[in-house]
Structures are given as C-alpha cells and as structure tokens.
Amino acid sequence: MGKKRIITKAEPGVATEGEAGKKGDAALAKKAVLGVEEGKIYINSSYNNTIIALTDLRGNVLTWVSAGNIGFKGTKKSTPFAASKVAEAIAERSKKIGITKVWVIIKGIGSGRESALRSLAGRGLEILSIKDATPVPHNGCRPRKVRRV
C-alpha cells in the first residue's frame, strides 16, 4: 500500500510549505550581510535554455536562475523573451543581495544572449565589462564522409 501522509501543525518558528519562498528570501538577506557590492554574472545561453548565475568576485555562486526555473517549458525556454525574463529575475535578486556593479561573462550560441544582456543593463545594474567566453573548436572532430546518392 502507500505511505501514509501525516499532517502536523507547524510550530510558530518553523516554516511551512507556503513560506518556502520567504525562506529563500532569508537566505538572500543573509548573503547581503556579507557586504558584497560587486559580482560576476555568467550568462549561459544554449539552443535549449538560458541559465544565468550570479557570483562574487572569487567565483562562489550566490544565486542562479534559468528559464525553466521561472516557468517556461519546452521550446519557449530558448526564446529571447525568456532570456530577458531570466535576466530581470537575476537583477532583482542581485539588488536584494546588494550587488550593483557586475562583470558579465557570456557563454553559448543561443538566441537569448543579447536580450539577456540588454535586460540586465535596463534593470539598473552597472556593467563594468562584457566578456565572451564561448568555446570555439580548434578544428575539432573529423567531419562525416560526403554522402553519395
């Protein structure tokens, strides 16, 4: 048979399921106490998704957001609109942490690269530099043989 689900009343200090988002806000507030004013934003834009991570200057991830995390599904995750929404969400989180100046590192060849960058700039983050770290193959694998019909 299945497991029984036991429902207990929560104590006043314990967070319930509905307060899970508030718990995440508390974690962001804790990171704001660290006094970080500058950070790096890594934009990874592939054909299927756009993932943006916010790190401190040493590279420790403070928070991240993806198009799937926001609620886009399937092919909608790879659109420029979804990438701009992801960038807006990461900008809001960075403001909660207290980061206003960022270095941007863009990686990937997806369609959301440029729209994510424009959205970050439009949200009031001061962009100190933009670096493209897209991996480029140095001749790579041997191509397939020519198809004969």
Contacts of 106 (CB under 8 A, 6+ apart): 43, 45, 113, 117, 130, 131, 132, 133, 134
Is 98 within a domain?
yes
pTM: 0.74
Q: The CATH number of the domain where 86 resides is what? A: 3.30.420.80
Q: Please give the pLDDT value at position 140.
A: 85
Picking from 65, 75, 73, 63, the residue whose alpha carbon sits closest to that of residue 116 is: 65
E strands, the chain, are: 38-45, 50-55, 61-66, 101-107, 126-132
Query: Helix, strand or coil for residue 44?
Result: strand
Rounded CA separation 119/123 (Å): 6
Is 72 within a domain?
yes
Is 106 within a domain?
yes
Is 57 within a domain?
yes
Is 27 within a domain?
no
Q: Please give the pLDDT value at position 73.
A: 94
Report, as ranges of residue numbers, the positions in the chain whose pLDDT lies below 70: 1-35
Q: Please give the pLDDT value at position 36.
A: 76
- Cα distances (angstroms) measured from residue 84 to each of 38, 80, 143: 21, 6, 36
What one-letter code names the amino acid at 67? Answer: A
Using a 10 angstrom Cβ sphere, with 0-12 exposed, 13-18 middle and 19 or more buried, the burial of residue 59 is: exposed
Is 28 within a domain?
no
Q: Please give the pLDDT value at position 104.
A: 96
Q: Please give the pLDDT value at position 149.
A: 86
Is 139 within a domain?
no
Query: Count of domains in the chain?
Result: 1
Is 149 within a domain?
no
Q: What percent of the chain has pLDDT over 70?
A: 77
Q: Please give the pLDDT value at position 38.
A: 92
Which residue range is the domain that position 53 belongs to? 35-132
